[in-house]
Homo-oligomer: A and B are copies of this chain.
C-alpha cells in the first residue's frame, strides 16, 4: 500500500511549495517508495491525521503517522534499511544536521525575505489572511516592506551561499558523488522559491545552477512535476 503524504499546496493544488515537504518527497523517492500526496492548505488543520501538530509534512504508512520532515527521514532510514541510505551512516547523519542548520539559519532565513510576498500571491484568500498575519507578526512589518529592497539584498544573499557554491564547484552533490538527504534539505529551499516566485536567486554563471538542474532531473524529473517558474 502506498504511503500517504500531506503536502502543502497553493490555491492551485498542483503548486507544492513547502521546503520541508520537498525534503520528505525527495526522501521517499530516494527510498524508492510509492507515495500518494494529498494537497493541504495552511488553514486545513482538521484535515490532517489526528492527533496532529497542524503542520506538514505528515506521512501515513499503514497504521503509522509520522510528523515533521526530520522525523520522517529518520523513520524512513530506520524502517526501510534495505533501501538506499539517506545518511550513509552515523557520521553522515551527524553532518546532515549541520547542513540542515545551515539551511535553516542562513539559506531559508535569507530566502524568505526575498520571496515571502510571492508565497502570499499563490495561496487562497483564507490562507492569505492566516499567512499575512502570522508572517507579519514574525517579521514585525508588512510583507510588502519585508521584500521591498530585495534587489539590493541579493548580492549579500548570494554571498551567503559561498559554502554551498564552493562545495558544488568541487563535487556533483552536497553529499559527494551521489545525492543524499543533505541534498534534499538544501534543494527544498530552492524548490520552495522556484514554485512560488519568478525572482531569480542565482547569477547566470553560478555553479549552484548545475546542481539545481541535476536535482530537478532526479527520479524521472519528480521535482519538475510541480507548478513552478523557470528551469
Contacts and interface: CB of A to CB of B under 8 A. Distances in A.
Interface of A: 85, 87-99, 101-102, 104-106, 162-164, 166-167, 170-171, 173-178, 180, 182
Number of this chain's copies in the assembly equals: 2
A163 to B, nearest CB: 4
20 contacts: A87-B91, A88-B89, A88-B92, A89-B92, A91-B176, A91-B180, A91-B182, A94-B175, A95-B98, A95-B99, A95-B176, A95-B180, A95-B182, A97-B167, A98-B99, A98-B164, A98-B182, A101-B167, A104-B166, A106-B163
A166 B105 contact: yes
B101 A98 contact: no
A173 B94 CA distance: 8
A177 B89 contact: no
Nearest to A91: B88
Interface centre among A85, A104, A173, A176 (most CB of B within 10 A): A176
Contacts of A94: 171, 173-177, 180, 182
B174 A98 contact: yes
Contacts of A88: 88-92
Interface centre among A102, A174, A182 (most CB of B within 10 A): A102
Contacts of A104: 166
